[in-house]
Structure 1
Amino acid sequence: MHASVLKYFVEVARSGSIRKASEEVHVATSALSRQIRKLEDELGTPLFERFSDGLRLTHAGEIVLRHATETLRQFEAMRSDLGEMRGKKTGRVHITCLDSLAVQFLPEFVRKFHRQHPAIDFRIRTASYNNIFRLLTEGDCDIAITFDLGRPHELDLISAVKMPLMAIVAADHPLARQKQVTLQECAQFRLLLQLDNEVMSSMIAWEIGALDRVIRTFVATNNQMLLKPLILSGEGVAFFTCLGLLKELEAGEVKALPIAGLRLNSMQVGIVTPSRRQLTGATQVVVEALSTELQQFSARIEAVHAR
């Protein structure tokens, strides 16, 4: 019961909303609100400030959040240890990752992994590049899969693969016949750009800005899934890694073209864990399996480029 109350509290703190938290933990809003009020009564202090746009932690709430996060982490470690006593890996593993990894890589990984370790389950959350590191350092997740461009010192890179930004076009697009392209060549066509993407901004925003007089941005969006059908229909040029497009690359529906002269062409995607946190047995197994699967996924991408 104690663990359940702490889970409820952590989710409300994370979302800043009773309603949003109730959807995540599958508990009625009225019941969840009562649990939070009961916890506040037991501790004798308000844990949240209540505003019209949501809830914010009080100073006391921040102290309780640190305790709750650490307690739940120890609870998961205990579950994992008890499972190993019975001769099987068990527990819950929290992963945070880039949106593109949730398109094909992680669904394939989860299906394969679950067949070998059915007692391990997952909580997977996509986030922006900067938020991924925050979630990992604050203890909201166990493993991150993201770009390795400058991680905080308290995080360890376990394994990584090369994953540069590419120009993505339909197979019948005029640029598809080339081996590589320049941003100037891409700018002759309509562009399909990502908004609110820190990595793309750091890599090509300045270069794109220099071409401001000639570029034609057809669509700019913070939802990359919206851009995929536009790429496939030949509407323009997008800038992505190949992470979320392997299926289309293998089917020959799109081409991924190296961008000549682009900064950070050696960019990597890697698996990151907290350096000072003891990983549960379940998390360690997942990290090892993810490392292997990421290498294999990268090899499949390289095989497409070698055709």
Structure 2
Amino acid sequence: MHDRFLNYFDETARQGSIRKAAAVLNMSSSSLNRKIISTENKLGIRLFDRHADGVALTEAGVVVLEHCRNTLFDYQRIINMVEDIRDMRTGHINIATLDSVALSVLPEVLDTFRASYPEVGYTIQTAEPHDVMQAVADGTADIGLSFSNDLHPDVRCQAEKSTPIGAIMAHDHPLAERDLLEFDDLVPYPMIRSYDSQSHRSFVNEAVGGMGAQISTQLSTNSLPLAKAMILKGGGVGIYSKIGFVDEIEDGRLRYVGINSPLLRELRMGLLISARTGLLPVQHLLARALSKSLRSLRLDS
């Protein structure tokens, strides 16, 4: 049935009168009556019994009315969904992330996302793993990108990618041809590490302590570009995942060698969201795009 007739039929059944329904629908009684009769003729069955006080649904009319109202309800849901999609074109998204992800994943994803949603704004803050997790837990970040092995109770992981931490060095470093390293192999060389090396929550500190090794950190920095520049110049061995060094590793300027540590080899990078509140539509779309990009990275081979 034509979508307009659904409204005509529903209103006539609601009013119990063609005259009253026509007044609500802002049309003439004769026009409304003709449309109902035309549909009845097409169906080959009466939908209303006419009487002096108005109209009453026939048994067939009761069945058709249920269909009409279900269809109208579904149509309204579609309208609401379209409005939600329109509203998704604006908004603001707060992201807390590791600097390695900010450098390697976010620029491309945000550039693509911006083309579809140019009016969306972003606040992006880089932080150490624990602080990223906490920002999502307390609601100051809508989306977090960090290691997900030890989730906060108020945080859930939407997507994960195996992201082991290993040794990253210049292509001509003495250890560059090794397939696997022990922590003791790193002892003679200066280490370059992220700023969380000064924290008791550091995954690397936990792994090193468990192995009883004594490695020295020559440079701790929260600047991944600085760490990368120093490693490229042969100024030390970096203890990082591949995520901020993928291009340099793939073009041969840097070499990644795994470290024989169950803890470091089992680390996972995750897209983190609140376990207590849902994402708004536009935030959900960006989270999906980031999840897809994260899963596509070559980090564990």
Does structure 1 residue 115 correspond to structure 2 residue 115? yes
Structure 2 counterparts to residues 229-240 of structure 1, below 5 A: 229-240=229-240
- Say whether the 8 Å CA contact 1:147–1:268 is kept in structure 2: yes
- Determine whether 1:134 maps to 2:137: no
Larger deviation, residues 194-203 vs 181-190: 194-203
- Counterparts of residues 35-184 of structure 1 (less than 5 Å): 84=84, 86=86, 89-184=89-184
In structure 2, C-alpha distance between the alignment counterparts of 1:141 and 1:225, rounded to whole Å? 24
1:54-95 CA distance string (max 9 Å, x none): xxxxxxxxxxxxxxxxxxxxxxxxxxx996364753211111
Unaligned runs of 5+ in 2: 1-80
Aligned to 1:289: 289
Consecutive unaligned residues in structure 1, runs of 5 or more: 1-80
CA RMSD in angstroms, aligned pairs only? 2.5
Conserved in 2, the CA contact under 8 Å of 1:97 and 1:144?
yes
Superposed displacement of residue 139, structure 1 = 1.6
SS in 2 for 1:103: helix
Change (3 A) 1:277 1:243: same
TM-superposition CA deviations, 1:189-218 (whole Å, max 9, x none) = 22223343433444434158x433xx4543
1:235 shift after superposition = 2.2
What SS is found at the alignment partner of 1:156?
strand
Q: Distance in 2 between matches of 1:216 and 1:265?
A: 21
Indicate the larger mover: 106-115 or 280-289: 106-115
Instruction: State the TM-score, normalizing by the size of structure 1.
Output: 0.64
Max Rg structure: 2
Q: Counterpart amino acid of 1:150?
A: D
Q: Secondary structure at the match of 1:243?
A: helix
> Stretches of 4+ moved more than 4 A in 1?
none
Partner of 2:247: 247
Q: Report the counterpart of residue 206 of structure 1 in structure 2.
A: 209
TM value normalised by structure 2? 0.66
In the alignment, the residues of structure 2 paired with residue 192 and residue 201 of structure 1 have an alpha-carbon distance, to the nearest angstrom, of 12
Contact preservation (8 Å) 2:157, 2:270: yes
Report the number of matched residues: 219
- Contact 2:88 2:282 (C-alpha < 8 Å) held by counterparts: no
Structure 1 residue 141: deviation in Å? Answer: 1.4
Deviations 1:8-55 (A, max 9, x none): xxxxxxxxxxxxxxxxxxxxxxxxxxxxxxxxxxxxxxxxxxxxxxxx
